[in-house]
Chain A
Amino acid sequence: MSPTSPEASAKKQITVPVMADLAARNESPEILFWVGCAGAFDDRYKRVTRAFVRILDHVGVKYAVLGLEESCTGDPAKRAGNEFLFQMQAMQNITTMNGYGIKKIVTACPHCFNTIKNEYPALGGDYEVIHHSTYLQQLINEGKVGVTGGESFKGRRITFHDSCYLGRANNIYEAPREVLAALDADLVEMKRSRANGLCCGAGGAQMWKEPEPGKKDINIERTEEALATLSGAAAALQNLGGVETETDAPSQHSLQGSIIAVSCPFCMTMMSDGVKNKEQENAVQVFDLAELVASAEGINA
């Protein structure tokens, strides 16, 4: 994606506000941006974090991050059965956030979102938590982001891969689709979507381990479905209930320039790896919603 649009020649540096500094000045943010470990450390997802911060900065909302005070929510520990480690992490984060009087949190990670929203209240952490797809949808609906002035996605083929922890776990299916619809792109749905969406294969702490012996990796199964959907050959997919998703059916569309949209750092890794495995990385790109919005808005630099 070209990062700049013609008129956006001037650029400014963003100094990301840190919660400790705000507290020292006796200020409180309207919203806390929970970055998450992938958003802070994973090179690919750091680009999503930066895109989202550009949007926050652009709309002028008073936000802050915890910076070095943020720690893993404990999601992977909890899914893997290590309840003790999870609760240690959770209590530590809750102590930090309650100390700052945090009320409202936005995060670009569905796993952090689910954990803080659903599992922190039992441990004393009650916050209004929203996922960035919902937040972006609100910004677009309120007209604060026009998704104009930057790169045009008109006519580009985009398919959205549902994250399990956004979709089935929390019933958020429409917000990411409405964000994509605002791009005026050519949205195509995979056969397994929304509540029937197929996992990318990384949830439940799978991200940190090798898969068990099987016939195929889950991300390959899902990438094949995404590619077949983008190329228009998906109608010929014979058996979505097995491991024979690959199709020889002729493509109706060139894959060139088409996009797999994701809203989760782990889905991002799994789908990107899948596209590379299928040797389509020069044709198909995997982007997070925040990257697409920042790009369309022309605020990347």
Chain B
Amino acid sequence: MLQSILFLLLLVAAFGLFAWQVRKIWANIHVGRERDMSGHPAERFRKMMLVAFGQQKMFKRLTPALLHLVVYVGFLVINIEVIEIVIDGLFGNIFGFHRSLKFLGPMYDVLMATNEILAALVILAVAAFWWRRNRSQPVKRFTGVELRAWPKLDANVILYIEVILMVALFFMNTADLKMHQMLGEEMPGTFPISSLLVGLLPSDAGTLHVLERIGWWAHITGIFLFLNYLPSSKHFHIIISFPNVWYSRLVPQGQFSNVESITHEVKAMMDPSYVVPPAPTAPDGSALAPTSFGAKDVEDLPWTNLMNAYSCTECGRCTSVCPANLTGKLLSPRKIIMDTRDRMEEKYESPLIFRPNQYGAEAKHEPVTDLMEATLLRGKVTPEELWACTTCNACVESCPVNINPLESIIEMRRFLVLEESAAPNSLNVMFSNIENNGAPWAFSPSDRFNWADDLFAAEKPAKAAVA
């Protein structure tokens, strides 16, 4: 009875705290600019099933895709057992039952056996993940200025927690199995790994019962702790990557967003009779403060780009294919996404653990003293990073959860150009060439058709269409 009450309290506290943290993330995402992403549910669902649920884009790189698949499937399947743990925890002690799903019979055997094999594979995959990150020469994309301190620790903490959860699961099963064996009772389920481990535990039924309880509590407490760690961690992607993919752009990647307020201005300039629609008003009818062009800080970005930041697993595929980063420039698309999340939590709501990246001289930042003044643009992302982008879409293409760093880059470029006139000089020359000559180079518009002078072709009869 006491255990049931304890468990109920723990359950309520865990989910309550988690909900409180998710609300903060929800609020942070909603400081972003409005953007209509409604419609096309069938296409969005298909995309979500392929890219998020089906991990389609992970399989561009086979080794990490397979390792990740093991942990992912392990997470999905082993969580079925968590349902059983919750039922047992709430009611088992009161009504005196244990392993409440055992009525499934042969299915339960299959489920338990699958869980054990997956749990063992998860431990192996996590070991491989750890090795890829922590050996003396780690996989290159796990390095970089943005992957020090908290992000580096976070990545390892996730791996450690996963191992602890799996070990607790084995501890629980092995103790339970041995206890049943010693009491001569039949153990429900099949446990291929735990049956190999029974020799490691003492042969005393009382001790075994305590050990089984320790394993059981460690597993479920660990899960509750992990749940509340997620909002502070890149591991939050296990939840938010689904809506993130759902709300990804459905237009060609080359299509950049249209700035409608500018469209009205340009139309009014070209046609004096054009009626500019009234500016949107606040719900109470009062005028809204005029918004800037482009993005200086997180609230200037569309909300989807802010959700992007919470979906980022910091895997670095984007940065590893970025032509600017590959050739030693400062730009790293991953850093821009991570900076966006840091900035949101710095300025607005922050989860339980909040350790924003602080970049030193290596990222060409002045040490920031006043956090509120450290806007996303300049405070975290330097113009040098933004101007190195070739808009090639390699980062967008590579992201396994459809994050679009390019949109954020362009929004900040818009702010630099339209609000600060702070483009590099050579680009200002290009702009004035377009304005004056209708071409980005300093050619005379009257020479535009010179290419057609003295144009000859060899005589050759045209072929009739075969089709």
What does the 1/0 interface line of A196-212 toward B look like (CB < 8 Å)?
10110111111111111
Whole-angstrom distance between the alpha carbons of A242 and B140 in the complex? 9
Q: Which residues of B contact A278 (CB under 8 A)?
A: none
Query: For the complex, is A288 an interface residue (Cβ under 8 Å from B)?
Result: no
Q: Which residues of A contact B263 (CB under 8 A)?
A: 87, 122-123
How many chain A residues sit at the interface, stated as a range, is 35 or more
Q: Which of B172-180, B189-197, B199-207, B323-331 lies at the binding interface?
A: B323-331
Q: Which of B23-31, B34-42, B106-114, B411-419 lies at the binding interface?
A: B411-419
Whole-angstrom distance between the alpha carbons of A297 and B256 in the complex? 38
CB proximity of B424 to chain A, nearest CB, Å = 5
Query: For the complex, is B458 an interface residue (Cβ under 8 Å from A)?
Result: yes
Q: Which of B115-123, B215-223, B339-347, B438-446 lies at the binding interface?
A: B438-446
Which of A145, A171, A217 touches B327 (beta carbons < 8 Å)?
A217
Which of A74, A92, A145, A300 touches B463 (beta carbons < 8 Å)?
A145
Query: Do A212 and B431 touch across chains, with their CB atoms under 8 A apart?
Result: no
Query: For the complex, is B51 an interface residue (Cβ under 8 Å from A)?
Result: no
Tell me the B247-262 residues at the A interface (CB within 8 Å). Answer: 251-256, 258-259, 262
Which of B267, B328, B412, B457 touches A14 (beta carbons < 8 Å)?
B457
Query: Do A72 and B255 touch across chains, with their CB atoms under 8 A apart?
Result: no
Query: For the complex, is A39 an interface residue (Cβ under 8 Å from B)?
Result: yes
CB proximity of A35 to chain B, nearest CB, Å = 7
Which of B265, B394, B434, B462 touches A198 (beta carbons < 8 Å)?
B394
Query: For the complex, is B84 an interface residue (Cβ under 8 Å from A)?
Result: no
Q: Which residues of B contact A9 (CB under 8 A)?
A: 458
Query: Do B466 and A143 touch across chains, with their CB atoms under 8 A apart?
Result: yes
Query: For the complex, is B423 an interface residue (Cβ under 8 Å from A)?
Result: yes
Query: Do B451 and A243 touch across chains, with their CB atoms under 8 A apart?
Result: no
Q: Which residues of A contact B463 (CB under 8 A)?
A: 59, 143-146
Q: Which of A45-53, A153-161, A254-262 lies at the binding interface?
A: A45-53
Question: If A87-B263, A91-B270, A143-B466 touch, does A81 touch B324 (CB 8 Å cutoff)?
Answer: no
Tell me the B419-451 residues at the A interface (CB within 8 Å). Answer: 423-424, 426-427, 429-431, 434-435, 438-441, 443, 445-451
Q: Which residues of B contact A203 (CB under 8 A)?
A: 390-392
Query: Do B418 and A242 touch across chains, with their CB atoms under 8 A apart?
Result: no
Query: For the complex, is A99 an interface residue (Cβ under 8 Å from B)?
Result: no
Which of A114, A122, A143, A204 touches B390 (beta carbons < 8 Å)?
A204
Which of B424, B435, B439, B454 touches A41 (beta carbons < 8 Å)?
B439
Query: Do B449 and A40 touch across chains, with their CB atoms under 8 A apart?
Result: yes
The chain A residue sitting closest to B444, CB to CB, is A41
Q: Which residues of B contact A207 (CB under 8 A)?
A: 440
Query: Do A165 and B388 touch across chains, with their CB atoms under 8 A apart?
Result: no
Whole-angstrom distance between the alpha carbons of A219 and B297 in the complex? 33
For the complex of A and B, the 5 pairs showing the least CB-CB separation, nearest first, are A169-B254, A215-B328, A143-B466, A81-B413, A204-B391
Query: What would be 28 A-B contacts, judged by CB atoms less than 8 Å apart?
Result: A12-B459, A41-B443, A41-B448, A68-B445, A68-B446, A71-B438, A76-B440, A79-B391, A81-B410, A81-B423, A87-B266, A91-B266, A164-B391, A164-B392, A168-B253, A169-B252, A171-B252, A195-B397, A201-B390, A204-B391, A208-B429, A209-B426, A212-B329, A214-B327, A216-B327, A217-B327, A243-B326, A298-B458
Chain B interface (Cβ < 8 Å from any Cβ of A): 60, 140-141, 251-256, 258-259, 262-263, 265-267, 269-270, 293-294, 320-321, 323-324, 326-331, 384, 387-394, 396-397, 410, 412-418, 423-424, 426-427, 429-431, 434-435, 438-441, 443, 445-452, 454-460, 462-463, 465-467
